[in-house]
């Protein structure tokens, strides 16, 4: 009887240890879940701003394509967006219609959203789930650098010194990150992939679009593989969709 009692106690102790370890794992996942839950609304807000601009652009393009008419408000909007999204364009007065359509088409490639799971994956990889000093002090969750020495953290190559950009808020940092993907020449492959999906009526896939971010890191293909791993392991579609509606 005493032997059975000892076995029962041993089993109880083992179960306690197992449950404690399982609890630690649950807490770890909870912290990651908390990061995702707190970060996602800001990404959604940033994408909403861009989608509003895109919807207006597409409406103007569709109307112009049908009628050939462009009012002053629409023309001002196009010029404002061309400046904001750094489109190098000059009006050809001899081919007015084709010239305007060319501007609209170029803008349509640049003014577009970045899938939430991709934004989250880059934030996770670049900031270590938001734990990096840069993220916590400068609201820079994406390792975005500048040549201006106003930043607090410094990285350097053999020829150039770069400073991590400082943002006044998390929202400002995410807005700028999306704007950078939509404007910098380095990420033209990303924009082309996204535009190809749009032209073929294919849903924007985070794991497809990561291929356009080879130049985001010196690790190139390893970096893309890491992003895809994070997306598949931690950012299931049904989970992030739930976050957006909860």
Does any domain span residue 13?
A: no
Based on the domain organization, do 123 and 239 belong to the same domain? Answer: yes
CB 122 within 8 A of CB 142: yes
For residue 150, the model assigns a pLDDT of 67
Decide: 227 and 213 in contact? Cβ < 8 Å.
yes
Per the domain annotation, does 2 fall within a domain? Answer: no
Confidence check: pLDDT of 165 > 60: yes
d(CA 31, CA 37): 10
Most confident of 62-76, 135-149, 155-169: 62-76
* Residue 38: inside a domain: no
User: Do 216 and 180 form a contact (C-beta atoms < 8 A)?
Assistant: no
Cα–Cα dist 165/86, whole Å: 20
Residues 238, 240, 242, 244, CA torsion sign: negative
Range scoring the smallest mean pLDDT among 3-12, 78-87, 109-118, 121-130: 3-12
What's the rounded Cα separation, in Å, for the pair 243 and 179?
23
Does residue 58 register a pLDDT over 50? yes
Kindly state whether residue 46 falls inside one of the protein's structural domains. Answer: no
Better pLDDT: 47 or 13? 47
Bridge partners (DSSP) of residue 154 are 163
Q: ∠101-65-49 over CA atoms, to 5°?
A: 70
Q: How far apart are CA 115 and CA 90, in angstroms?
A: 31
Structural domain of 193? 114-245
Residues 73 and 135 in one domain: no
Say yes or no: 80 and 132 in one domain.
no
Same domain, 96 and 133: no
Residue 93 and residue 137 in one domain: no
Establish if 17 belongs to a structural domain.
no
201: left (phi over 0), alpha (psi -120 to 50) or beta: left
* Digit-coded pLDDT (tens) for 105-117: 999 999 999 999 9
How far is it, in rounded angstroms, from Cα 210 to Cα 153? 27
- Indicate whether this model's pTM tops 0.75: yes
47 assigned to some structural domain:
no
Taking the CA atoms of residue 238, residue 240, residue 245 and residue 246 in that order, the dihedral angle to the nearest 10 degrees is: 100
Token pair, residue 182, equals: 């939509």
What values do phi and psi take at 19, rounded to 5? -65, -35
Residue 48 lies in a domain: no
* Contacts of 189 by beta carbon, 8 Å cutoff, 6+ apart: 211, 212, 214, 215
Q: Quote the radius of gyration of the chain (alpha carbons, Å).
A: 24
- Total number of domains in the chain: 2
Where does the pLDDT of residue 20 fall: very low under 50, low under 70, confident under 90, or very high at 90 and above? very low
């Amino acid at each position: 009887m005493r032997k059975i009692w000892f076995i029962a106690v041993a089993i109880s102790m083992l179960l306690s240890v197992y449950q404690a370890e399982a609890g630690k794992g649950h807490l770890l996942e909870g912290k990651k879940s908390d990061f995702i839950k707190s970060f996602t609304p800001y990404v959604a807000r940033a994408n909403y701003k861009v989608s509003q601009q895109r919807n207006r652009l597409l409406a103007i393009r569709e109307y112009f394509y049908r009628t050939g008419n462009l009012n002053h408000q629409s023309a001002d909007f196009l010029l404002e967006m061309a400046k904001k999204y750094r489109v190098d364009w000059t009006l050809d007065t001899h081919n007015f219609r084709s010239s305007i359509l060319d501007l609209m088409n170029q803008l349509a490639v640049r003014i577009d959203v970045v899938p939430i799971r991709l934004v989250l994956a880059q934030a996770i990889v670049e900031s270590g789930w938001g734990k990096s000093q840069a993220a916590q002090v400068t609201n820079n969750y994406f390792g975005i650098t500048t040549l201006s020495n106003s930043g607090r953290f410094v990285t350097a190559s053999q020829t150039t010194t770069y400073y991590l950009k400082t943002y006044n808020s998390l929202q400002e940092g995410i807005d700028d990150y999306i704007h950078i993907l939509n404007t910098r020449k380095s990420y033209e492959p990303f924009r082309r992939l996204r535009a190809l999906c749009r032209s073929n009526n294919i849903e924007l896939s985070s794991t497809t679009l990561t291929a356009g971010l080879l130049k985001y890191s010196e690790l190139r293909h390893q970096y893309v593989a890491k992003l895809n791993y994070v997306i598949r392991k931690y950012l299931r579609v049904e989970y992030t969709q739930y976050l957006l509606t909860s």
